[in-house]
Chains A and B, each alone.
Chain A
């Protein structure tokens, strides 16, 4: 047992170690200055998993995606300028007003990206590259202050012939404003990792995290 680090109020102590080369299988506990255990080994902490695998999708399944997102003027200006979208309707309110708009228009690419973003945890977070987006239609302008929500339906699901451990899933996604009016619709397809056997899930299985200190 030895001290590995010490701050004003806490000491990290390795209680036992069996060495194999540079690797130590160790249990690390943080003790406060009275010697009371205040934190346990992070490997005891169960992973709170995110995302869905290929096996979790079936045709026709519908997802009402989480959170929603109010787009404000800062979001629109930042996105538009960082992406070099030099269209004055998106960043000059006076110019936009002279074209009949009540405010700057939210850059439609920001609308698309936000609706895709809201759908990622349900559809594509578990891993697998983005293949394509088809048939994106912007039905009406979005203005700062509008709130976007997203909904998707699985339209196709098939095995990938070329990518071991992956399938291909296609979804129809729609983005709505706070009045439940359709603002954007599109179809997108991704490679989606299988629960086991894909390069993504294999990499995740050996991915080192705090709690797996021997790998750090």
Chain B
């Protein structure tokens, strides 16, 4: 790069970290009952289903043997339920856990309908509960997440508790 950097970019990094994450998803920002429709969707293909299923040592070839599954009642490979769950919680994560200190619990995961290669998944979230944590710099938010296919079929639902930073303690001025 030959051009002189703009003044602000030539400065040394500030050492701050709060600029790396969003400013609207600290613990203080979540309100019980708030509903979020997450912006991005994802189509499930070989990378999502086949790669992640194998990466996590799931040996069930219903997820990666198209020849066998052609002869099953499903007619094709099934997407591993936890791949669907991972994608739904992933799609929801920037809005719900970008400022997390930890994900504490998942609960009531339901795999309500089969997902196949080529299906597109969107994520929806409702804030169920907020409470203080043992540490004063963060609080716990309980979310309910839904995964919905392009044809409006609900394929996944589940709850999740996240320990989220308080702006008052973590957002440098």
Spell out A's residues near B (CB within 8 Å).
Answer: 50-51, 67, 69, 75, 78-79, 82-89, 92, 95, 98-99, 105, 108-110, 112-114, 116-118, 120-121, 124-125, 127, 129-138, 141, 186, 199-200, 203, 206-208
Residues of A close to B62: CB separation below 8 A: 127
User: Which residue among B42, B85, B101, B103 has the maximum number of chain A CB atoms within 10 Å of its CB?
Assistant: B103
CA distance A134 to B59 in the complex (A): 22
Decide: B20 and A88 in contact? CB cutoff 8 A.
yes
Give B contacts to A, CB under 8 Å.
17, 20-21, 40, 42, 47-48, 51-53, 55-60, 62, 67-68, 71-73, 78, 80-83, 85-87, 89-91, 93-94, 97-98, 100-111, 114, 158
Q: In the docked arrangement, what's the CA distance between A98 and B78, Å?
A: 41
- Which among B21, B52, B98, B101 is the interface contact of A82 at CB below 8 angstroms? B52
B72 & A199 in contact (Cβ 8 Å cutoff) = yes
Known A117-B58, A120-B59; judge A83-B114 contact (CB<8 A).
no
Bound together, the chains give a CA A86 to CA B97 distance in angstroms of 8
By a CB distance below 8 angstroms, the chain A residues around B52 are 79, 82-83, 113
- Most chain A beta carbons < 10 A, residue from B42, B90, B111: B90
Please tell me if the beta carbons of A79 and B42 are within 8 angstroms of each other in the complex: no
**Closest 5 pairs between A and B when the two form their complex, measured CB to CB:** A117-B57, A84-B90, A83-B90, A117-B56, A136-B106
| Given A82-B47, A129-B114, A203-B71: A116 in contact with B109 (beta carbons within 8 A) | no
Shortest A142–chain B CB gap in Å is 11
Q: Would you mind naming 16 contact pairs between A and B with Cβ atoms under 8 Å apart?
A: A79-B86, A83-B48, A84-B87, A84-B91, A87-B100, A88-B20, A88-B98, A108-B102, A117-B53, A118-B57, A129-B78, A129-B114, A130-B111, A203-B68, A203-B73, A206-B71
| Distance to closest chain B CB from A102 (angstroms) | 15
B59 and A131 contact, CB distance less than 8 A: no
Q: Which of A110, A125, A199 contacts B56 (CB 8 A)?
A: A110
Question: Complex: how many Å from CA A176 to CA B42?
Answer: 32
14 other contacts beyond A83-B52, A85-B97, A203-B68, with CB at 8 A cut-off?
A50-B59, A51-B60, A79-B56, A83-B90, A84-B42, A84-B87, A88-B98, A98-B17, A110-B56, A113-B82, A132-B108, A133-B158, A203-B71, A203-B72
Chain B residue nearest to A78 (CB atoms) is B55
Q: A88 CA to B47 CA in the complex, in Å?
A: 22
Cβ–Cβ < 8 Å partners of A114 in chain B: 56-57
Residues in B whose Cβ lies below 8 Å from that of A200: 72
CB < 8 Å: which of B71, B106, B111 contacts A112? B106
Among A112, A116, A136, the most chain B Cβ lie within 10 Å of the Cβ of: A136
In the bound complex, CA of A135 to CA of B21 (Å): 29
Known: A113-B86, A137-B104. A86 touches B93 (CB 8 A): yes
Q: Are A83 and B106 in contact (CB under 8 A)?
A: no
Given contacts A116-B82, A200-B72, A208-B71, contact A79 B93 (CB under 8 A): no
Nearest CB on B from A139, distance (A): 10
Question: Given contacts A127-B62, A137-B104, are A88 and B57 in contact (CB under 8 A)?
Answer: no
